[in-house]
Structure 1
Amino acid sequence: MIRGVRGAVTVEENNENEMIEATGILVKKMIQENNIEAEDVASVFISVTEELTAGFPAKALRTIEGWTYVPVMCMREIPVEGSLPMCIRVMMHVNTDSTQQNITHIYLRDAIQLRPDLKATSST
């Protein structure tokens, strides 16, 4: 079964290094909390809010050993009025035996407000 593992993080500035660093922290926590192996990942979608234009957050995945061949795509989040700014969202499609209820979705920094209803690991 392919399951979606969600995560999101915010950044302070439209800065490539900050975007890559924050995405790396987020993705590594998603991997750790859900025991994800690169070979089990079908694809990863990463969206950014419209003010984040300094770089590709997908570069963060290329720094993780074993993730060279995982398909990753960056895209722009739709600009909904009042939505959380400076936000990077990740959707990882993972082959797993886990039920949807046992997936741990990760929300860091200001992104914890996105899905307070889900079982989530939150941090600053």
Structure 2
Amino acid sequence: MGWRVRAIRGATTASENSQQAIREAVHELLDELEAYNRIDPDEIVSATFSVTRDLDAIFPATIARERPNWANIPLFDVQQMHVEGSLERCIRLLIHFNTLDPNVAIYHPYLRQARILRPDWTLAQAALSKKQ
């Protein structure tokens, strides 16, 4: 079997709408993603960040480009559709990557208050992270 495109989802929240708070949240999310997924930045097809309408101090893609080996990855920022009562100050991430391993284990990091978005994955991820 040849190369296959897979995806990783994740989300976190920023403590406030400031460059520093958003930068801290994005780095924490990407640190977690890289720590628990065998992913080579050269194999990333693209990454899309979405933010809720209350976060506009800095683009998450700008922060990601500061990371080693992320400068040439196609990155895109969008505003998440607003739904009344939804999680505030939320940053979501979707990464598509190529892999030769059809059974690659994928860890979808949901951090901080964003854990409530996917409680099913949060429990499964906790078990996976304890194994590593």
Q: Note whether the superposition's TM-score is higher than 0.5.
A: yes
Q: Which has the higher strand share?
A: 1
Structure 1: stretches of 5+ with no match in the other structure: none
Q: 2:43 aligns with which of 40, 44, 49?
A: 40
Report the counterpart of residue 27 of structure 1 in structure 2.
30
Q: 1:8 aligns with which of 5, 11, 25?
A: 11
TM-score under structure 1 normalisation? 0.90
Query: Following the alignment from structure 2 to structure 1, what is the Cα–Cα distance between the partners of residues 102 and 25?
Result: 26
Larger gyration radius, structure 1 or structure 2: 2
Q: Does 1:81 align with 2:84?
A: yes
Q: Which has the higher helix share?
A: 2
Report the counterpart of residue 125 of structure 2 in structure 1.
120
Report the counterpart of residue 63 of structure 1 in structure 2.
66
Per-residue CA shift, 1:52-101, capped at 9, x if unaligned?
Answer: 0111111221221111100000000000122111100010111122547x
Query: Following the alignment from structure 1 to structure 2, what is the Cα–Cα distance between the partners of residues 57 and 98?
Result: 30
Percent of counterpart pairs with the same letter? 38
Pick closer, same or farther for the CA change 1:82–1:70 going to 2, 3 Å. same
- Please tell me the root mean square deviation across aligned C-alpha atoms, in Å: 1.6
Query: Following the alignment from structure 2 to structure 1, what is the Cα–Cα distance between the partners of residues 16 and 31?
Result: 21
Q: 1:120: Cα distance to partner?
A: 2.5
Query: Following the alignment from structure 2 to structure 1, what is the Cα–Cα distance between the partners of residues 98 and 125?
Result: 20
Moved over 4 A (4+): none
Report the counterpart of residue 110 of structure 1 in structure 2.
113
TM-score under structure 2 normalisation? 0.85
Query: Following the alignment from structure 1 to structure 2, what is the Cα–Cα distance between the partners of residues 98 and 19?
Result: 34
Aligned length, in residue pairs: 121
Structure 2: stretches of 5+ with no match in the other structure: 127-132
SS of match in other structure, 2:110 = strand
Amino acid in the other structure paired with 1:5: I
Report the counterpart of residue 129 of structure 2 in structure 1.
none
